[in-house]
Amino acid sequence: MLNPQPVPSYLIQSEAVRTRFERLKARETILEVRHLGKRFATPQGECTVLNDISFKTHRREFVCVIGPSGCGKSTLIRILAGLEWPTSGQVLLDGKPVDGPGADRGMVFQGYTLFPWLTVKKNVMFGLKMNGLSRGQAEREALQWLDLVGLSKFTDVYPHQLSGGMKQRVAIARALANRPRILLMDEPFGALDAQTRAKMQAYLLDIWRNIDITIVFITHDLDEAILLADRILVLKANPGEVEELIEVPVPRPREASQITSFEFRATKARLEALIHPPTEIDDGDAVRPQIVRMTDVTDDVE
């Protein structure tokens, strides 16, 4: 008889966390990715970026996608947005194939992508008017979303007059104004300083708690993924494939102080082991690089 294996520490969940995941899994599936693949032609031959990616996302779930550089995170989210086409496989939103961009998906990029010649209010109104709303209706909707992201006092200023964090709040309001089923975010806080980034994470969690939205969020920051996500999709590189799908055991509501908790630290240790696995080096074949001292010094640093 086999001895039972211990449950990994990062999967140990409180009763409240287990109940939350049971409720989450009982909700309808919003997004389904089936055996997704993406290949590019290069001068050196065909390159496989994504291979056999499959996962589901439930209504009002927050999923983060992480992985080493070059694993295809941004390619994946662009395919989900309909901005690129897969070589194989399928993306379904509410059971219907994704075959191009649509108002049912909002997209927020790392760059602010705001129209510099339009005010904050008119940036948010732009998509609403394109979807057929009258000027008055679009303005009322835009003001409502700008109030939600805390920018009601900045409706008539231009993007160049805003800080980086405020620009991203406008971008989020613009993406949400069309009331999409899912919000796709490609490292939206990557260019922000640490303090602003922490504030934006808190803003995003507040928004997510208060509206009916499902979020798929690309990040390279492990702390950010654990702080935000219900589940974390870990990709491995060359080609990008699903390494693991982790249920985050950190209780909600989340706050920065939880970074020192056992659940947080155990989850981060697991993510680090997946993304940066220890490499086996044959000492007999290992060759240390030749380091040349470039200056004449009288003391050593070690």
> Could you tell me the CATH number of the domain that includes residue 45?
3.40.50.300
Q: What is the pLDDT of residue 230?
A: 95
Q: What residue numbers bound the domain in which 155 lies?
A: 114-179
**pLDDT interval class at 280 (50, 70, 90):** very low
More confident residue, 14 or 57: 57
pLDDT of 206 strictly over 80:
yes
* CB neighbour list of residue 80: distance below 8 Å, 6 or more residues apart: 31, 33, 91, 98, 105, 182, 184, 216
What does the pLDDT read at residue 238?
86
Query: 179, 194, 220 — which closes off a domain?
Result: 179
158 and 54 within one domain: no
| Contact status, residue 219 vs residue 225, Cβ threshold 8 Å | yes
Q: How far apart are CA 253 and CA 99, in angstroms?
A: 36
Average pLDDT over residues 251-255: 89
Domain for residue 59, yes or no? Answer: yes
In terms of domains, do 17 and 92 share one? yes
Same domain, 186 and 254: yes
Residue 6 has pLDDT above 80, yes or no: no
Are 96 and 225 in the same domain? yes
**Domain endpoint, select from 125, 150, 179:** 179
Min mean pLDDT across 19-23, 110-114, 277-281 is at 277-281
Q: Are residues 124 and 201 in the same domain?
A: no
Q: Is residue 261 part of a domain?
A: yes
Asked if residue 96 and residue 215 are part of one domain, the reply reads yes
295 assigned to some structural domain: no
Please give the average per-residue pLDDT across 227-253, as a whole number: 93
Query: Is 243 a residue whose pLDDT tops 90?
Result: yes
Q: Does one domain contain both 60 and 192?
A: yes
- Region 82-93: mean pLDDT is 94
Does 95 share its domain with 190?
yes
Average pLDDT over residues 149-156: 92
Residue 125 parent element (H or E): helix 120-130
pLDDT at 88: 94
In a domain, 69, yes or no: yes
- Name the pTM for this structure: 0.87
Domains held by the chain: number: 2
Give mean pLDDT, residues 11-34: 88
User: Are residues 49 and 27 part of one domain?
Assistant: yes
Helix, strand, or coil here: 74? helix
Angle (CA) 167 209 30, round 5°: 95
Q: What is the pLDDT of residue 1?
A: 47
Amino acid identity, position 8: P
The residue among 179, 203, 223 that closes a domain is 179
Domain identity same for 66 and 185: yes
Q: What is the mean pLDDT of the chain?
A: 88
Lowest-pLDDT range of 38-42, 49-53, 93-97, 281-285: 281-285
pLDDT at 285 over 60: no
| pLDDT at site 162 | 93
- Is 19 inside a domain boundary? yes
Q: Are residues 84 and 16 in the same domain?
A: yes
CB-CB contact of 183 with 213 (8 Å)? yes
Residue, of 250 and 110, whose pLDDT is higher = 250
Residues 171 and 246 in one domain: no
Mean pLDDT across 148-160: 93
